[in-house]
Structure 1
Amino acid sequence: MPQPATPYGFLRRTPALQWVLLIVISGLVSFILDRAGFPAALFLGPMLVSIAFGVNGATIRLPKPLFQISQGVVGCLIAHAMTAAVLLMVAQHWPLMLLSTSITVLLSVLVGLFLVRFGGLPGSTAAWGTTPGAASAMVAMAEEYGADSRIVATMQYVRVVCVVMISALVGRFLGAEGTGAATQAAQLEWNWQSLSSFAVTLGVVVVGAWLGRRLPAGALMLPIVLGTLVQLGAGIQITLPHWLLALAFGAMGCYVGLRFDQATVRYVMRALPKMIFASLMLIALCAVSALLLAHLMDKDFLSAYLATSPGGLDSMAIIAVESHADVGLVLAMQALRLLGVIVTGPFLARQIARFAKPA
């Protein structure tokens, strides 16, 4: 049967042209979003452009092995944050940090139940979409565990935008209260004197993704484990230049975005108000838990708020540095929660799908 006409239907006959246009336009949109200060611009730009291509009948698809390699890069990015200072912070305050992390994860479960019950979302998709971890990691794990990664990506990045905007405002108003303690945020910059470290990092990405390709979320988890062991055990710094991160996030964005069609976009638009409301509800509940954490750990509220905020580790670290908050606490809490949700995410998704019945 003839394919339905679309405004850009001529692209269906030229896959090479589709790829060229997708790469060029994605790069341009990512640059514009990044200059405008949008979080996760390297992922959002390619995903938005790929959605437009998919809705208008594009036939190209990103091979899954490239998606798994991109997961490996994200895993190394997480491992890069697992410094000795972060682990020491966890060792010193682990009971309170574990309690706070558990509260945040529990709140995300409640919000997920709300979305399933009243928002009409599938249980596993709502679980991964509301899980407070690195958005790209949650999208990757949702894909591995059979959830709709398109909806999960939309939910995650709607929340990331809300979190970053609100956290930036909180940091601006409360920045003077920060302790300024101390650790310097990781800078992922190219350094020609560290080619050996970069080669080891690539080895961790490829080997970890290949060994974990048949395990649930293995392409993400094994590079985290291997990268942390290499960095802390062997003393080799995980080196991730900007262009490699751009390629990895761009590939993940294209993989997710090209799977959208017109029906999916209509569904997302109908559910968008509920997604925004759920994100704001989770942010407010986490802010309440930050009050408790600040009191028990004798920390300023800004540092506790950024540490418990359900945003990405990288975004919260940047805001912590700019607002003179306790960067060590923020990195430690965000990293601990990320590992916690990676381990418990599959179980929580099953429980939400099991106990929550859509209204």
Structure 2
Amino acid sequence: MSRSNALSPQASQSKPSTNKNKWWYWVALFLCSGVLVAAMEYVHAPAAFLLGPMIAAIALVVSNHPMSLPAIPFRLAQVMVGLMMASHLPISTFADISAQWPAFIFGTLMTMVASGLVGVVLTKSKLLPGTTAIWGTSPGAAGVMTIMSEHYKADMRLVAVMQYTRVAFCALAAMLTAGLLVDSEVLQNIPHQWSVISWSSFWMTLITALVCLALASRFSVPGGFLLIPMFTGFCLQSLGWLTLDLPESLLVVAFAIMGWGIGFRFSPDVLRHALRVFPYILLSIGFLLLMNALVAWILTLWIDIDFLSAFLGTSPGGADSVAIIAASIPVDTSFVMTMQVSRFLLVMIAGPLLAQWLSRSFMEKSD
């Protein structure tokens, strides 16, 4: 197996592990996930159904219990999260962006500037080989950055560790911040829709999900399994053609699969390879989170938004994991979703170009 195939995000999900996913691995995964979810729910931690399975998956794979997810369940889980994001985007979203566009641009660009600064500093320090730091610190679009990095003298293994460690730590930081700023009684009293409200709307939602899954599989759009259902659901709801019915009994399954999908991307071999520079990786993530908090504080002074909403909106983690956390706590979900999607789109367009430009600059200097 080639190095790129062995390390690509797609391969980590769809290829069978060397131990062929022994059935007791899955039993252990379900039990560990259940215990962690129950413990986090007991203390009213946000996004327990995402973070519990994610921590359980990381613990298993780094203790030499390699596991993998089939591609279809993970993709379908992304589609369901995309539809959930659409259900939280009001029709006034574009009007809100146009009214506050300087704040949206500021929040998005500051996240990218902070990430680029960390990447340049780490690259100049030569703590990481080649242009690894530039690709590893790029915010969002983790899979795309990981795959493209190999063509620019970067160590794909370290890029993968940096990208998915950032996603995991940003999710944990968002959960802890929400736990500190939101009263536990408020979290306990958040209403939950566990059952289907309208069976006709529910079946139409599932059909929409399957159509979006097929479209995203057919067209290789980066982030398509999240973006296509989100924009499709938003447009259909805005036109009055669809009412999204997503009971939490369905969403928690999608959240758990998302958590496992993130956790399975880690491995003992990759972590051992990264152990020497792991403190610097954690330090860079810590700097990004501090910048995240600073930008969020500036936004609270600039526009009418609370700190937690601003913090989640400018989080350099994955848009899908942030969306799941935002949906489980009392924040301005439309602001969070819009800010995350704006940054995700900008990263998809400008991120690879910026990383390529920086990579070429350092490659030319090294030559």
Q: Calculate the TM-score normalised by the size of structure 2.
A: 0.70
Q: Deviations over 1:173-217 (max 9, x none)?
A: 9xxxxxxxxxxxx97623432222222222232221222125033
Residues 238 and 99 of structure 1: CA distance in aligned 2, closer, same or farther (over 3 Å) = same
Q: Distance in 1 between matches of 2:46 and 2:133?
A: 22
Q: Is the 8 A contact 1:293 1:304 kept in 2?
A: no
Q: Could you tell me which residue of structure 2 aligns to residue 306 of structure 1?
A: 311
Q: Could you tell me which residue of structure 1 aligns to residue 10 of structure 2?
A: none
Q: Do structure 1's residue 68 and structure 2's residue 75 form an aligned pair?
A: yes
Q: Could you tell me which residue of structure 2 aligns to residue 107 of structure 1?
A: 114
**Superposition CA RMSD, Å:** 4.0
Q: Distance in 2 between matches of 1:270 and 1:308?
A: 32
- Percent identity between matched residues is 25
Q: Is the 8 A contact 1:128 1:349 kept in 2?
A: no
Q: Is the 8 A contact 1:73 1:248 kept in 2?
A: yes
Q: Could you tell me which residue of structure 1 aligns to residue 165 of structure 2?
A: 154
Q: Distance in 1 between matches of 2:52 and 2:182?
A: 27
Q: Is the 8 A contact 1:149 1:256 kept in 2?
A: no
Which has the larger displacement, 69-78 or 143-152?
143-152
Secondary structure of 2:231's partner?
helix
Q: Distance in 2 between matches of 1:270 and 1:196?
A: 55
Q: Distance in 2 between matches of 1:60 and 1:291?
A: 40
Q: Could you tell me which residue of structure 2 aligns to residue 120 of structure 1?
A: 128
Q: Calculate the TM-score normalised by the size of structure 1.
A: 0.71
Q: Could you tell me which residue of structure 2 aligns to residue 266 of structure 1?
A: 272
Matches within 5 A, 1:196-235: 196-213=200-217, 214-215=219-220, 216-235=222-241
What displacement does 1:36 show? Answer: 4.1
Secondary structure of 2:194's partner?
coil
Which has the larger displacement, 198-207 or 115-124?
115-124
What displacement does 1:155 show? Answer: 1.4
Residues 13 and 234 of structure 1: CA distance in aligned 2, closer, same or farther (over 3 Å) = closer
Q: Could you tell me which residue of structure 2 aligns to residue 285 of structure 1?
A: 291
Q: Is the 8 A contact 1:209 1:219 kept in 2?
A: yes
Q: Deviations over 1:224-251 (max 9, x none)?
A: 2211112212353333322333222322
Letter in structure 2 aligned against 1:157: A
Letter in structure 1 aligned against 2:34: G
Q: Deviations over 1:289-339 (max 9, x none)?
A: 456545554x47737853764262454576664xxxx67655543443344
Q: Could you tell me which residue of structure 2 aligns to residue 275 of structure 1?
A: 281
Residues 99 and 54 of structure 1: CA distance in aligned 2, closer, same or farther (over 3 Å) = closer
Secondary structure of 1:236's partner?
coil
Q: Could you tell me which residue of structure 1 aligns to residue 3 of structure 2?
A: none
Q: Distance in 2 between matches of 1:254 and 1:33?
A: 16
Residues 115 and 333 of structure 1: CA distance in aligned 2, closer, same or farther (over 3 Å) = same
Letter in structure 1 aligned against 2:173: C
Q: Deviations over 1:91-140 (max 9, x none)?
A: 32223422332233222322333444445277578646551x6xxxx456
Q: Distance in 1 between matches of 2:252 and 2:52?
A: 11
What count of residue pairs does the alignment treat as equivalent?
326
Letter in structure 2 aligned against 1:30: V
Q: Could you tell me which residue of structure 1 aligns to residue 196 of structure 2?
A: 192
Letter in structure 2 aligned against 1:47: M
Secondary structure of 2:197's partner?
helix
Which has the larger displacement, 67-76 or 16-25?
16-25
Letter in structure 2 aligned against 1:209: L
Secondary structure of 1:211's partner?
helix
